[in-house]
């Protein structure tokens, strides 16, 4: 009897191992099936004479049930994976839209408004770029707020679709488990009946199992297009009609005018000849003396009606007595040139102080400009890290979170840029007021000094003696 029992035990062991090898998928053991298996082993020991034939009949059936369960299980998983891929494909365009919006939002305050550069910028340029950054960063803040809201909504929609396909996968797997348990239990019942009563004389209808393949719904995403605004400007064309001239009438008028002119010139020639001689002498005296020998200035020298009147008086007095005028010019020319030189020095000092003041303002605000620039850059770099996330819900959750953070950052960048632009503008206006006052003082000193020396020069040309000692310069030196 022991050899028969050993044979039966080995056969049962091989049956169990074969089933274990077949089921390479997670499966929760069923208590009823385990009881039937224990019963089968006990019956096989008692009815060893018929166990071999019974196992030969029902072992292939049990193996087939296991194969069908594995097929159904794989179909459930495959359907779930396909549905997941369809969902990812459905929202792929939304992901690209968000990335394009982020590119636009990030390009506003940085690429178009580089508020900080390694090279020093003029304050006017800094203020202009800060104003640009303030406006564009506010727009970027709105853009990222919209990105955050859209990404949040899309993440909720995707999560809802994931929940649906996960529930369908659970139902599919439960159906596969139920079918396997029912068919396996029924087959073990038949096996145990065979072991008890022998092989049945009637052939039972073969067991049928159904392969569960869940349906995959494919929906289309609702993607809102961006608004596009195009502005077309058409130039205006203007035409001017040329005027026609009456050549004949023009020739007659010209001839008549020529006759009258010749008549009047002949009567006036004797009176004008003396006047022309005086004017010619006056021009020669003035051209050969003061106007040609004054030191040229690089600046546009200020003037007023008083100086112009004194200069005209100088020319008239010089024309009366050219001999005396040379001595007067030799004395006062250096003094007048010295006033112009002093004006140039004062003007240059005003400009230098103005430039130094702007450099100090730029140095004081340089770190603020750098921080404004860095804030926009760092936020955008963090945002684009979300695009590397494969799982859709996690990716859009990342877009929503970073988009909200970036919206706050850009809003703060806009506020900081606005404040910095206002403060720098105040400093710049103060410097401009100071340099304007400085220029006015320099112009005032030049006008007063020039008028004084022209007045003394005219007195000299009128017959006053030339001072024996050089008059002390009234103007200051730097």
pLDDT band at 260 (very low <50, low <70, confident <90, very high): low
**Is residue 235's pLDDT more than 50?**
no
Express each pLDDT in 126-139 by its tens digit. 999 899 888 888 88
- 213 in Cβ contact with 75 (< 8 Å): yes
Q: Which pLDDT score, from 0 to 100, does residue 201 have?
A: 66
Please check whether residue 400 lies inside any domain of the structure. Answer: yes
Same domain, 309 and 394: yes
In whole angstroms, give the CA distance from residue 279 to residue 109.
68
Are both 186 and 322 inside the same structural domain?
Answer: no
**Cα 198 to Cα 218: distance, rounded to the nearest angstrom:** 53
Q: Give a yes or no: residue 130 inside a domain.
A: no
The residue count for the chain: 478
In a domain, 253, yes or no: no
For 214, residues 6+ apart whose C-beta sits below 8 A from its C-beta are 75, 76, 79, 80, 168, 169, 171, 172
Looking at the chain, the whole-number percentage of residues with pLDDT higher than 90 is 37
176/91 same-domain check: yes
- Using pLDDT thresholds of 50, 70 and 90, give the confidence band for residue 231: very low
Here the tokens at position 372 are: 């404004």
pLDDT tens-place string over residues 325-371 = 898 999 999 999 999 999 999 999 999 999 999 999 999 999 999 99
With bands split at pLDDT 50, 70 and 90, how would you rate the model's confidence at 263? low
Question: In 3D, which of 443, 457, 448, 446 has the Cα closest to residue 290?
Answer: 457
Written as six digits, the tokens of 418 are 């606005």
| pTM of the entire predicted model | 0.56
Q: Are residues 63 and 192 in the same domain?
A: yes
Domain hosting 42: range is 2-112+151-197
Query: Tokens standing for 127?
Result: 């203020």
Phi–psi pair at 323, nearest 5 degrees:
-65, -45
| Residue 175 is assigned to a structural domain of this protein | yes
Whether residue 50 is contained in a domain is answered as: yes
What total number of domains does the chain contain? 2
Is residue 226 one of the residues assigned to a domain?
no
Residue 287 sits in the same domain as residue 402: yes
Listed residues 140, 167, 197: the one ending a domain? 197
Confidence band of 44 (pLDDT split at 50, 70, 90): confident
Q: Which of 143, 166, 197 is the last residue of a domain?
A: 197
For 410-467, write each residue's pLDDT tens digit.
899 899 999 999 999 999 999 999 999 999 999 999 999 999 999 999 999 998 998 8
Torsional sign, CA 279, 280, 286, 287 = positive
Residue 229 has pLDDT above 90, yes or no: no
Dist CA 84 CA 156 (whole Å): 15
The alpha carbon of residue 324 and the mean position of all alpha carbons in its chain are separated, in whole angstroms, by 75
Residue 59: inside a domain, yes or no?
Answer: yes
Q: What is the mean pLDDT of residues 281-306?
A: 57
Task: Examine residue 335 and state whether it is found in any structural domain, yes or no.
Answer: yes
Residue pair 72/32 in contact by the 8 Å Cβ criterion: no
């Amino acid at each position: 009897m022991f050899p028969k029992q050993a044979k039966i035990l080995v056969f049962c062991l091989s049956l169990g191992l074969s089933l274990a090898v077949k089921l390479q998928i997670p499966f929760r053991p069923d208590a009823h099936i385990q009881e039937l298996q224990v019963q089968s082993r006990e019956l096989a020991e008692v009815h060893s004479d018929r166990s071999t034939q019974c196992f030969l009949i029902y072992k292939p059936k049990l193996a087939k049930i296991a194969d069908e369960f594995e097929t159904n299980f794989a179909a459930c998983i495959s359907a779930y994976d396909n549905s997941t891929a369809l969902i990812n494909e459905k929202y792929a365009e939304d992901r690209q839209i968000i990335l394009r919006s982020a590119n636009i939002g990030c390009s506003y305050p940085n690429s178009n408004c580089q508020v900080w550069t390694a090279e020093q910028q003029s304050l006017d340029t800094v203020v202009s770029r800060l104003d640009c950054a303030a406006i564009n960063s506010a727009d970027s803040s709105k853009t990222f707020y919209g990105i955050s809201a859209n990404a949040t909504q899309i993440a909720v929609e995707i999560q809802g679709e994931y929940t649906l396909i996960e529930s369908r996968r659970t139902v599919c797997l439960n159906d596969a488990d139920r079918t396997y348990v029912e068919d396996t239990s029924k087959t073990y019942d038949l096996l145990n009946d065979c072991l008890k009563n022998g092989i049945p004389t009637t052939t039972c209808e073969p067991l049928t199992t159904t392969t569960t393949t869940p349906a995959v719904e494919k929906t289309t995403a609702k993607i809102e297009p961006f608004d596009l605004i195009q502005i077309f400007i058409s130039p205006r064309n203007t035409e001017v009609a040329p005027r026609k001239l009456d050549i004949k009438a023009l020739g007659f008028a010209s001839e008549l005018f020529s006759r009258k002119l010749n008549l009047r010139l002949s009567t006036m020639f004797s009176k004008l000849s003396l006047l022309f001689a005086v004017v010619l002498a006056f021009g020669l005296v003035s051209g050969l003396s003061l106007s040609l020998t004054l030191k040229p200035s690089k600046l546009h020298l200020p003037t007023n009606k008083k100086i112009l009147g004194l200069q005209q008086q100088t020319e008239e007095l010089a024309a009366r007595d050219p001999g005396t005028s040379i001595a007067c010019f030799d004395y006062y020319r250096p003094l007048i040139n010295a006033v112009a030189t002093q004006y140039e020095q004062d003007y240059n000092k005003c400009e230098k102080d103005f430039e130094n003041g702007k450099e100090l303002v730029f140095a004081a605000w340089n770190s603020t400009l750098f921080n404004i620039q860095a804030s926009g850059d760092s936020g955008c770099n963090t945002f684009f890290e979300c695009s590397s996330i494969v799982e859709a819900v996690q990716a859009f959750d990342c877009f929503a979170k970073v988009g909200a953070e970036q919206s706050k950052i850009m809003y703060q960048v806009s506020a900081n840029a606005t404040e910095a632009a206002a403060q720098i503008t105040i400093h710049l206006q103060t410097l401009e007021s100071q340099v304007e006052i400085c220029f006015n003082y320099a112009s005032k000193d030049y006008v007063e000094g020039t008028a004084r020396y022209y007045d003394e020069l005219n007195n000299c040309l009128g017959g006053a003696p030339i001072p024996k000692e050089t008059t002390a310069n009234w103007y200051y030196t730097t």
